[in-house]
Amino acid sequence: MKLATFAVSAVALAASTATMAQDAPPSTTNVTLYGIADAYVQFANGANNLSRAQSGGLSGSRFGIRVNEDLGGGLRGLAVLESGINLDDGTNGQNAFWGRQSYVGVASPYGTLSLGRQYGSVYSLSSDFSEFSNVSTGASTAVIGGFGGYEPVRGGTTYSATGNGGPARVNNSIKYETPTFSGFKAGALWGFGEATGGTNDQRVADVYARYSGYGFDAMVSFVDDKLGLTSQDVRTTSGAVGYTYGDWHGTAGLISVNDRSAADADGQGYWVGGDYRFGKQLVRAQYLQNKAKNVNEGKTQAFGVGYQYDLSKRTNLYTALTRFKNDGDSYANRWASAVPAGLTTVDDRNITEFTAGIRHSF
Protein backbone atom coordinates (compact mmCIF):
# COMPACT_ATOMS: atom_id res chain seq x y z
CA MET A 1 0.00 0.00 0.00
CA LYS A 2 1.44 3.34 -1.01
CA LEU A 3 1.79 6.01 1.62
CA ALA A 4 0.30 8.63 -0.71
CA THR A 5 -2.86 6.58 -1.25
CA PHE A 6 -3.21 6.03 2.47
CA ALA A 7 -2.77 9.74 3.17
CA VAL A 8 -5.37 10.76 0.57
CA SER A 9 -7.88 8.31 2.05
CA ALA A 10 -7.24 9.63 5.56
CA VAL A 11 -7.71 13.25 4.45
CA ALA A 12 -10.93 12.38 2.61
CA LEU A 13 -12.33 10.66 5.68
CA ALA A 14 -11.38 13.58 7.93
CA ALA A 15 -13.03 16.04 5.52
CA SER A 16 -16.24 14.04 5.35
CA THR A 17 -16.47 13.77 9.13
CA ALA A 18 -15.91 17.51 9.51
CA THR A 19 -18.78 18.22 7.09
CA MET A 20 -21.12 15.86 8.92
CA ALA A 21 -20.29 17.48 12.27
CA GLN A 22 -21.57 20.91 11.16
CA ASP A 23 -24.76 21.99 12.94
CA ALA A 24 -24.68 18.80 15.04
CA PRO A 25 -26.52 18.75 18.41
CA PRO A 26 -24.54 19.03 21.67
CA SER A 27 -22.30 16.03 22.25
CA THR A 28 -22.54 13.38 24.99
CA THR A 29 -19.31 11.94 26.40
CA ASN A 30 -18.97 8.57 28.16
CA VAL A 31 -15.77 7.78 30.06
CA THR A 32 -15.25 4.15 31.15
CA LEU A 33 -12.63 2.83 33.53
CA TYR A 34 -11.99 -0.86 32.89
CA GLY A 35 -9.42 -3.52 33.56
CA ILE A 36 -8.35 -7.12 34.05
CA ALA A 37 -6.54 -8.57 37.06
CA ASP A 38 -5.11 -12.00 36.16
CA ALA A 39 -2.51 -13.95 38.16
CA TYR A 40 -1.47 -17.59 38.33
CA VAL A 41 1.02 -20.01 39.84
CA GLN A 42 3.30 -21.85 37.45
CA PHE A 43 5.21 -25.08 37.88
CA ALA A 44 7.68 -26.06 35.14
CA ASN A 45 9.85 -29.14 34.78
CA GLY A 46 12.76 -29.26 32.33
CA ALA A 47 16.38 -30.04 33.05
CA ASN A 48 15.57 -28.32 36.36
CA ASN A 49 12.35 -27.38 38.16
CA LEU A 50 10.79 -23.92 38.51
CA SER A 51 7.85 -22.59 40.54
CA ARG A 52 6.70 -18.98 40.58
CA ALA A 53 3.75 -16.57 40.60
CA GLN A 54 3.10 -14.77 37.32
CA SER A 55 0.70 -12.28 35.72
CA GLY A 56 -1.61 -12.73 32.74
CA GLY A 57 -2.48 -16.40 32.25
CA LEU A 58 -5.78 -16.02 30.36
CA SER A 59 -5.47 -12.31 29.56
CA GLY A 60 -2.80 -9.70 30.10
CA SER A 61 -3.45 -7.75 33.32
CA ARG A 62 -4.30 -4.12 32.59
CA PHE A 63 -6.29 -1.05 33.44
CA GLY A 64 -7.59 1.44 30.93
CA ILE A 65 -9.67 4.49 30.18
CA ARG A 66 -12.06 4.44 27.22
CA VAL A 67 -13.66 7.65 25.98
CA ASN A 68 -16.61 7.69 23.58
CA GLU A 69 -18.27 10.96 22.58
CA ASP A 70 -21.44 11.18 20.50
CA LEU A 71 -20.81 14.08 18.14
CA GLY A 72 -24.14 13.77 16.33
CA GLY A 73 -24.76 13.02 12.68
CA GLY A 74 -23.39 9.49 13.03
CA LEU A 75 -20.00 10.72 14.29
CA ARG A 76 -18.20 9.53 17.43
CA GLY A 77 -15.01 10.78 18.99
CA LEU A 78 -13.00 8.07 20.69
CA ALA A 79 -9.82 7.55 22.69
CA VAL A 80 -8.19 4.70 24.60
CA LEU A 81 -5.40 4.83 27.17
CA GLU A 82 -4.47 1.34 28.39
CA SER A 83 -1.66 0.34 30.73
CA GLY A 84 -0.32 -3.20 31.10
CA ILE A 85 0.48 -4.44 34.60
CA ASN A 86 2.69 -7.24 35.83
CA LEU A 87 0.40 -8.19 38.70
CA ASP A 88 3.06 -10.28 40.45
CA ASP A 89 5.44 -7.35 41.08
CA GLY A 90 3.49 -4.21 40.13
CA THR A 91 5.68 -3.16 37.20
CA ASN A 92 4.53 -1.99 33.76
CA GLY A 93 3.77 -4.77 31.34
CA GLN A 94 5.17 -3.27 28.12
CA ASN A 95 8.01 -1.08 29.44
CA ALA A 96 5.81 2.01 29.03
CA PHE A 97 3.00 3.32 31.23
CA TRP A 98 0.36 3.36 28.47
CA GLY A 99 2.15 0.52 26.69
CA ARG A 100 -0.81 -1.66 25.72
CA GLN A 101 -2.68 1.00 23.72
CA SER A 102 -2.79 4.78 23.48
CA TYR A 103 -4.72 6.31 20.61
CA VAL A 104 -7.34 8.88 19.63
CA GLY A 105 -9.69 8.86 16.67
CA VAL A 106 -13.06 9.47 15.09
CA ALA A 107 -15.67 6.98 13.87
CA SER A 108 -18.27 7.67 11.19
CA PRO A 109 -20.54 5.68 8.86
CA TYR A 110 -17.54 5.65 6.50
CA GLY A 111 -15.21 3.91 8.93
CA THR A 112 -12.87 4.62 11.84
CA LEU A 113 -9.65 6.64 11.69
CA SER A 114 -7.24 6.60 14.66
CA LEU A 115 -3.73 7.78 15.59
CA GLY A 116 -1.30 6.54 18.24
CA ARG A 117 0.06 3.25 19.55
CA GLN A 118 -2.28 0.54 18.30
CA TYR A 119 -2.64 -3.22 17.85
CA GLY A 120 -1.24 -4.64 14.64
CA SER A 121 -3.27 -7.26 12.79
CA VAL A 122 -0.97 -10.21 13.66
CA TYR A 123 -1.53 -9.54 17.35
CA SER A 124 -5.31 -9.52 16.95
CA LEU A 125 -5.28 -12.62 14.73
CA SER A 126 -3.08 -14.66 17.08
CA SER A 127 -5.21 -13.64 20.08
CA ASP A 128 -8.77 -13.96 18.76
CA PHE A 129 -8.26 -17.31 17.02
CA SER A 130 -6.20 -19.18 19.63
CA GLU A 131 -7.49 -21.33 22.49
CA PHE A 132 -4.64 -20.06 24.67
CA SER A 133 -4.53 -16.62 23.06
CA ASN A 134 -1.03 -15.06 22.78
CA VAL A 135 -0.39 -14.93 26.50
CA SER A 136 2.25 -16.82 28.45
CA THR A 137 0.50 -20.04 29.49
CA GLY A 138 -0.53 -23.18 27.65
CA ALA A 139 0.09 -24.09 24.04
CA SER A 140 -0.06 -20.38 23.23
CA THR A 141 0.63 -18.60 19.95
CA ALA A 142 3.25 -16.67 21.94
CA VAL A 143 5.50 -19.65 21.13
CA ILE A 144 5.20 -18.62 17.48
CA GLY A 145 5.01 -14.88 17.89
CA GLY A 146 7.55 -14.28 20.60
CA PHE A 147 5.40 -11.44 22.00
CA GLY A 148 7.94 -10.60 24.70
CA GLY A 149 9.71 -8.43 22.10
CA TYR A 150 7.90 -9.77 19.02
CA GLU A 151 9.28 -11.19 15.89
CA PRO A 152 7.17 -14.04 14.49
CA VAL A 153 8.68 -17.53 14.47
CA ARG A 154 12.16 -16.63 15.68
CA GLY A 155 11.52 -14.35 18.66
CA GLY A 156 13.58 -11.30 19.63
CA THR A 157 13.52 -7.67 18.51
CA THR A 158 15.97 -7.57 15.59
CA TYR A 159 13.32 -6.51 13.09
CA SER A 160 11.17 -4.40 15.39
CA ALA A 161 11.15 -1.39 13.12
CA THR A 162 9.19 0.96 15.33
CA GLY A 163 10.80 0.11 18.65
CA ASN A 164 8.75 -1.03 21.62
CA GLY A 165 6.52 -3.87 20.47
CA GLY A 166 7.26 -3.95 16.75
CA PRO A 167 4.29 -5.11 14.64
CA ALA A 168 2.42 -6.49 17.68
CA ARG A 169 1.62 -2.96 18.83
CA VAL A 170 2.72 -0.31 16.38
CA ASN A 171 3.99 3.04 17.62
CA ASN A 172 3.52 6.30 15.69
CA SER A 173 0.71 4.74 13.65
CA ILE A 174 -2.32 5.84 11.67
CA LYS A 175 -5.05 3.24 11.20
CA TYR A 176 -8.24 3.08 9.13
CA GLU A 177 -10.90 0.37 9.43
CA THR A 178 -13.99 0.08 7.25
CA PRO A 179 -17.52 -0.38 8.58
CA THR A 180 -18.83 -3.95 8.54
CA PHE A 181 -20.59 -4.93 5.30
CA SER A 182 -22.49 -8.23 5.45
CA GLY A 183 -20.00 -9.54 8.02
CA PHE A 184 -16.92 -8.29 6.16
CA LYS A 185 -14.53 -5.54 7.20
CA ALA A 186 -10.97 -4.54 6.29
CA GLY A 187 -8.32 -2.18 7.53
CA ALA A 188 -4.87 -0.72 6.99
CA LEU A 189 -2.23 0.63 9.35
CA TRP A 190 0.92 2.62 8.68
CA GLY A 191 3.56 2.91 11.40
CA PHE A 192 5.79 5.90 10.69
CA GLY A 193 9.49 5.14 11.16
CA GLU A 194 10.13 8.84 11.82
CA ALA A 195 13.58 8.59 10.21
CA THR A 196 14.85 11.87 8.76
CA GLY A 197 15.42 11.67 5.03
CA GLY A 198 13.64 8.35 4.47
CA THR A 199 9.85 7.88 4.49
CA ASN A 200 10.33 4.16 3.99
CA ASP A 201 12.93 3.66 6.73
CA GLN A 202 11.96 1.91 9.96
CA ARG A 203 8.25 1.77 9.10
CA VAL A 204 5.51 -0.84 9.37
CA ALA A 205 2.80 -1.35 6.71
CA ASP A 206 -0.11 -3.57 7.75
CA VAL A 207 -3.29 -4.58 5.85
CA TYR A 208 -5.95 -7.07 6.92
CA ALA A 209 -9.47 -8.34 6.29
CA ARG A 210 -11.96 -10.25 8.41
CA TYR A 211 -15.30 -12.01 7.85
CA SER A 212 -17.77 -13.15 10.53
CA GLY A 213 -21.04 -14.90 9.80
CA TYR A 214 -22.93 -18.23 9.81
CA GLY A 215 -20.76 -19.57 12.64
CA PHE A 216 -17.52 -18.75 10.81
CA ASP A 217 -14.89 -16.19 11.73
CA ALA A 218 -11.88 -15.79 9.43
CA MET A 219 -9.04 -13.27 9.14
CA VAL A 220 -6.01 -12.71 6.88
CA SER A 221 -3.22 -10.17 7.30
CA PHE A 222 -0.02 -8.99 5.65
CA VAL A 223 2.66 -7.00 7.47
CA ASP A 224 5.77 -5.47 5.91
CA ASP A 225 8.21 -4.45 8.67
CA LYS A 226 11.10 -2.53 7.14
CA LEU A 227 14.23 -1.38 8.94
CA GLY A 228 15.45 0.42 5.82
CA LEU A 229 18.59 1.91 7.33
CA THR A 230 20.17 -1.54 7.36
CA SER A 231 18.23 -3.06 4.44
CA GLN A 232 16.29 -5.45 6.68
CA ASP A 233 12.77 -6.24 5.54
CA VAL A 234 10.54 -8.90 7.11
CA ARG A 235 7.18 -9.76 5.56
CA THR A 236 4.65 -11.69 7.65
CA THR A 237 1.61 -13.34 6.08
CA SER A 238 -0.99 -14.78 8.46
CA GLY A 239 -4.39 -16.39 8.31
CA ALA A 240 -6.77 -17.95 10.82
CA VAL A 241 -10.27 -19.38 10.96
CA GLY A 242 -12.74 -20.25 13.70
CA TYR A 243 -16.06 -22.09 13.62
CA THR A 244 -18.76 -22.33 16.30
CA TYR A 245 -21.42 -25.03 16.37
CA GLY A 246 -23.58 -25.02 19.46
CA ASP A 247 -21.29 -25.39 22.48
CA TRP A 248 -18.34 -26.49 20.29
CA HIS A 249 -15.75 -24.07 18.96
CA GLY A 250 -12.69 -24.79 16.79
CA THR A 251 -9.76 -22.63 15.67
CA ALA A 252 -6.72 -22.89 13.40
CA GLY A 253 -4.11 -20.47 12.13
CA LEU A 254 -0.81 -19.97 10.31
CA ILE A 255 1.96 -17.38 10.58
CA SER A 256 4.58 -17.37 7.79
CA VAL A 257 7.65 -15.12 7.75
CA ASN A 258 9.65 -14.14 4.68
CA ASP A 259 12.93 -12.58 5.81
CA ARG A 260 14.23 -10.59 2.82
CA SER A 261 17.50 -9.58 4.48
CA ALA A 262 20.84 -11.35 4.03
CA ALA A 263 20.08 -13.50 7.09
CA ASP A 264 17.19 -15.18 5.21
CA ALA A 265 15.73 -16.34 8.54
CA ASP A 266 12.39 -17.56 7.18
CA GLY A 267 9.98 -19.59 9.25
CA GLN A 268 6.44 -20.78 9.81
CA GLY A 269 4.20 -21.58 12.71
CA TYR A 270 0.72 -23.04 12.85
CA TRP A 271 -1.85 -24.12 15.42
CA VAL A 272 -5.11 -26.02 15.65
CA GLY A 273 -7.41 -26.29 18.66
CA GLY A 274 -10.91 -26.46 20.03
CA ASP A 275 -13.04 -26.00 23.12
CA TYR A 276 -16.35 -27.16 24.54
CA ARG A 277 -18.55 -25.28 27.02
CA PHE A 278 -21.01 -26.94 29.40
CA GLY A 279 -22.68 -24.57 31.80
CA LYS A 280 -20.08 -22.61 33.76
CA GLN A 281 -17.28 -24.93 32.64
CA LEU A 282 -15.02 -24.81 29.59
CA VAL A 283 -12.44 -27.34 28.41
CA ARG A 284 -9.90 -26.47 25.72
CA ALA A 285 -7.03 -28.10 23.86
CA GLN A 286 -4.50 -26.88 21.30
CA TYR A 287 -1.49 -28.13 19.34
CA LEU A 288 1.03 -25.80 17.73
CA GLN A 289 4.30 -25.99 15.87
CA ASN A 290 6.99 -23.38 15.30
CA LYS A 291 9.68 -24.00 12.66
CA ALA A 292 12.63 -21.81 11.69
CA LYS A 293 13.38 -22.79 8.07
CA ASN A 294 17.15 -22.40 7.82
CA VAL A 295 18.01 -23.60 11.34
CA ASN A 296 19.16 -27.15 12.02
CA GLU A 297 16.45 -28.92 14.04
CA GLY A 298 14.80 -25.53 14.48
CA LYS A 299 11.39 -26.73 15.61
CA THR A 300 9.23 -26.46 18.72
CA GLN A 301 5.99 -28.38 19.29
CA ALA A 302 3.50 -27.83 22.09
CA PHE A 303 0.30 -29.56 23.13
CA GLY A 304 -1.84 -28.22 25.93
CA VAL A 305 -5.15 -28.91 27.62
CA GLY A 306 -6.97 -26.47 29.87
CA TYR A 307 -9.99 -26.16 32.13
CA GLN A 308 -11.93 -23.03 33.12
CA TYR A 309 -14.69 -22.54 35.67
CA ASP A 310 -16.69 -19.31 35.65
CA LEU A 311 -17.55 -18.18 39.16
CA SER A 312 -19.42 -15.29 37.53
CA LYS A 313 -19.41 -13.37 34.24
CA ARG A 314 -16.39 -11.43 35.51
CA THR A 315 -14.41 -13.96 37.60
CA ASN A 316 -12.87 -17.17 36.25
CA LEU A 317 -10.73 -19.94 37.70
CA TYR A 318 -8.46 -21.72 35.23
CA THR A 319 -5.75 -24.33 34.89
CA ALA A 320 -3.64 -25.81 32.07
CA LEU A 321 -1.15 -28.61 31.46
CA THR A 322 1.25 -28.28 28.50
CA ARG A 323 4.16 -30.22 27.05
CA PHE A 324 6.78 -28.34 25.00
CA LYS A 325 9.10 -30.41 22.78
CA ASN A 326 12.13 -28.38 21.70
CA ASP A 327 14.50 -29.60 19.00
CA GLY A 328 18.21 -28.91 18.80
CA ASP A 329 18.97 -25.28 18.10
CA SER A 330 18.50 -22.21 20.28
CA TYR A 331 15.93 -20.73 17.87
CA ALA A 332 13.67 -23.68 18.60
CA ASN A 333 14.13 -23.58 22.38
CA ARG A 334 10.79 -21.85 22.80
CA TRP A 335 8.26 -21.57 25.59
CA ALA A 336 5.13 -19.44 25.90
CA SER A 337 7.33 -16.90 27.70
CA ALA A 338 11.09 -16.31 27.89
CA VAL A 339 12.86 -19.50 29.02
CA PRO A 340 14.55 -18.81 32.39
CA ALA A 341 18.26 -19.58 32.56
CA GLY A 342 18.92 -23.10 33.76
CA LEU A 343 15.45 -24.53 33.06
CA THR A 344 16.74 -26.30 29.93
CA THR A 345 20.18 -27.59 28.90
CA VAL A 346 21.73 -28.69 25.61
CA ASP A 347 20.82 -32.30 26.41
CA ASP A 348 17.44 -31.68 28.04
CA ARG A 349 15.40 -29.04 26.21
CA ASN A 350 11.81 -30.19 26.74
CA ILE A 351 9.48 -28.53 29.26
CA THR A 352 6.31 -29.67 31.04
CA GLU A 353 4.22 -26.82 32.46
CA PHE A 354 1.29 -26.75 34.89
CA THR A 355 -0.54 -23.51 35.71
CA ALA A 356 -3.50 -22.54 37.90
CA GLY A 357 -4.88 -19.05 38.26
CA ILE A 358 -7.73 -16.59 38.63
CA ARG A 359 -8.91 -13.74 36.37
CA HIS A 360 -11.23 -10.89 37.29
CA SER A 361 -12.52 -8.38 34.73
CA PHE A 362 -14.07 -5.04 35.60
Name the DSSP letter for residue 181: B
Tallying the residues shown for the chain, one arrives at 362
**Tens of pLDDT, residues 287-315:** 999 988 877 778 999 999 999 999 999 99
Three-state DSSP state, 21: helix
Tell me the per-residue pLDDT of 61-101, one tens digit each, with 9 for 90 and over: 999 999 999 999 999 999 999 999 999 999 988 878 998 99
pLDDT band at 157 (very low <50, low <70, confident <90, very high): very low
Residue 26 maps to a domain:
no
Residue 28 lies in a domain: no
Instruction: Report the SS3 class of residue 15.
Output: helix
> Is residue 40 included in any domain, yes or no?
yes
DSSP state of 349: -
Please work out, in degrees rounded to the nearest 5, the angle formed at the alpha carbon of residue 81 by the alpha carbons of 75 and 85.
Answer: 150
Higher pLDDT, 195 or 334: 334
- pLDDT at 35 > cutoff 90: yes
pLDDT at position 196 is: 75
Task: Give the per-residue pLDDT at 151.
Answer: 62
27 falls within a domain: no
Lowest-pLDDT range, 68-82, 141-155, 219-233, 288-302?
141-155
Lowest-confidence pick of 7-16, 113-122, 197-206, 323-332: 7-16
Question: Minimum mean pLDDT among 92-96, 114-118, 132-136, 254-258: which range?
Answer: 92-96
Tell me which of 136 and 154 has the higher pLDDT. 136
Which of the pair, 155 or 105, is modelled with greater confidence? 105
Q: Does residue 308 sit within a domain?
A: yes
- Model confidence at 127, pLDDT cuts 50, 70, 90, reads very high
pLDDT surpasses 50 at 223:
yes
Tell me the pLDDT tens digit for each residue of 264-289. Answer: 778 899 999 999 999 999 999 999 99
Residue 25 lies in a domain: no
Q: What is the reported pLDDT for 1?
A: 44
The dihedral built from the CA positions of residue 311, 138, 136 and 130, taken in this order, carries a sign that is negative
What CATH number did the domain enclosing 180 receive?
A: 2.40.160.10
Beta strands in 178-266 (DSSP E): 184-191, 203-213, 216-227, 232-245, 248-259
Average pLDDT, the chain: 87
Count the domains in the chain. 1
Range of the domain at 164: 3-19+33-361
Q: Is residue 133 part of a domain?
A: yes
* Higher-scoring residue by pLDDT: 237, 14: 237
Q: What is the pTM of this model?
A: 0.87
| 352 found inside a domain | yes
